[in-house]
Amino acid sequence: MNGAEVLVEMLKRYQVETIFGVPGDTSIPLYDALHAASSSITHIMARDERSSAFMADTYARLSHKPGVCECPSGAGPLYILPGVAEADASSIPLLVFTSDIPLAGEGKKTITELDCQKLFEPVTKWSHLVKDTARLPEIIRRAFRVATTGRPGAVHLAFPQEVLSSEFPGQDMHLYSEEECQAYPAYRTRGSRAKLEQVCSLLMQAKRPVLIAGGGTNHSQASEEILELAETLNSPVVTTISGQGIMPDEHELALGVIGDNGYHPHAHQAVEEGDVLLYCGCKLGSVSTIKWTLPSFKPERKILQIDLDPELLSNNYKNEISVAGDARLVLRDLVSLLHINAFQAEPSAWVDELNRLRSKFWQESAQSFRAGSIPLKPQQVIYSLNQRLQNPAIVIADAGTPTPYITRFLKLTNPESNFIIPRAYGGLGYAIPALVGAHSACPGANLIGLFGDGSLGMSAGELETLSRLQIPAILIHFNNGSFGWIKALQSLHSQEKYFSVDFTPGDPAMVARGFGVQALTVKTPQDLEAGLDQAFAGPGPVFLDVLSESEVSEMPPVFSWERAARKHKKPEVHT
């Protein structure tokens, strides 16, 4: 066996079924090995290296197995870097392999020569240049272990041509996997009994406990534990954007999203009025706390935090108690302690009042859902989508225009539904390739992708991938002819001095058809209903080009923007 065949054999031992990538000069040995193993491992060709990383990222989020992507030397690593960075900062286990120039050409200005080990170091947990074919099994095992344990993240391995082409001197006995690291989180940890008893005591004494669920609860698959803990404590559950979907949205204790983008006012009120706040899998970053103003400081308020990464504990707020551990295990232990104490919270007038405010919020929002305006308001699109999401679905959104409307108005009532949005760096171009990764992880799922025209410009080539693979996805494109998020900021902070934010809308539906995708142009509410009916009837992919209202003419539900608008609003003059 040569090095490339050893690499592929090790991937098989780790139960890897799908690899996403783009071919190149330096990856020929790897592709030969993948071709020979095609009955066990599917290789999905992306049209751009960044897209391959986004595909692997989404695959990992849904399969709870490490995502694997690869690219050739030179431009490949430069292009794939944004997707690797997004996965690592989002605590998603990703293995990225770059095939490289020969070691013999190092330092000789060989075409595509690049120090990939250093390039990936800032955006991975471990970046390594493999120099010895004999050590391949050991290094692959370490890569899976680093990616899946502790705080999961990305690992990069660079393979020079000699390593891929040389004969492996070892024996079959060296080709084994570490079973625990075939999925994530691997080697889950739990908090100490003494700490958990302290947390339990404070929760039982609380008059207004609130659970704040971050993305770590989704990664840990802790939805059942969150639900049972909330019902035992009769505690409202609010989420960050990454934690959205941890509970069915119609549950009386699921109050919605907190933070700056697409917040629910009643969820903010719950956090501000809570006397014991339990943050779980949440790093208390700038968005979820609105730059550390939510919650405000109250000396009597108790803040508790559970996180897999000890570095994040008490990093931004003074915690009463910090617990380092896996969300699912820690929450399960807390529920057990509450049952041991025979604790069950009484009905709460406070929770009833929060639900009254929630009902009022949705009643008032309904006016804009049915406004019938042209161009269409983004919330109209989300409302019409909600009516068709009774069955399990995977909803994937890009950064930009869709974000605040989806986080505020999307309703996932089916407990088997999932919502994915890249929140680490907010780069555009995620949703379309992410649908490919989602289909690979969940072939029978209903897939919906939402993205703006800025994002489309960065990933339109993957429409061909969706068409080639006949992935039954529904693509909803918000078309307002601009980088709308930035244009709104220029409206708010630059006295409407718009600069380099507008572009020609063109005919995106025609572009989609050119790639072999069914496409419809949506201009009116009637077009929207007919288009969604056709899209959900299948088969896909189906592209809906929705001419939507700009963020400039109607401000999205972003807390800091609304606050700035009130500050800048000129007072009325009465005569």
For residue 310, which phi and psi values (nearest 5 degrees)?
A: -60, -25
Q: Quote the pLDDT of residue 12.
A: 98
Pick left, alpha or beta for residue 15 (phi over 0 → left; psi -120 to 50 → alpha; otherwise beta): left
What strands, in cross-sheet order, belong to the sheet with 302-307?
Answer: 254-257, 237-239, 209-213, 276-280, 302-307, 321-324
User: For the chain, which residues score pLDDT lower than 70?
Assistant: 569-575
Q: Quote the pLDDT of residue 417.
A: 94
List every span in the chain annotated with CATH 3.40.50.1220: 193-354
One CATH from 1.10.10.350, 3.40.50.1220, 3.30.428.10, 3.30.1200.10 for 193-354: 3.40.50.1220
Identity at 560, one-letter amino acid code: S
* DSSP summary character for residue 184: S
Residue carrying structure tokens 């090095």: 3
Number of alpha helices (DSSP H) and beta strands (DSSP E) in the chain: 22, 18
- Element of type H or E holding 394: strand 393-397
Pick left, alpha or beta for residue 136 (phi over 0 → left; psi -120 to 50 → alpha; otherwise beta): alpha
Q: Which fold has domain 3-182?
A: Rossmann fold (3.40.50)
Q: Quote the pLDDT of residue 567.
A: 81
Record the tokens describing residue 322, joined without a space: 């910090």
List every span in the chain annotated with CATH 3.40.50.970: 3-182, 370-566
Rounded to whole angstroms, how far apart are CA atoms 199 and 192? 11
- Element of type H or E holding 520: strand 518-522
Beta bridge partners of 393: 446
| Burial class of 411 by CB neighbour count within 10 A (0 to 12, 13 to 18, 19+) | middle
Record the tokens describing residue 70, joined without a space: 């690869």
Instruction: Say whether 247 sits in a helix, a strand or coil.
Output: coil
Q: Quote the pLDDT of residue 106.
A: 84
Question: pTM surpassing 0.85?
Answer: yes
- Whether the link from the prior residue into 102 is cis, omega within 30° of 0, is no
Q: Quote the pLDDT of residue 384.
A: 96
Contact 84, 96 (CB under 8 A): yes
Q: Quote the pLDDT of residue 573.
A: 45
Contact 352, 245 (CB under 8 A): no
Q: Which fold has domain 370-566?
A: Rossmann fold (3.40.50)
Cα three-residue angle 179-185-191, rounded to 5 degrees = 120
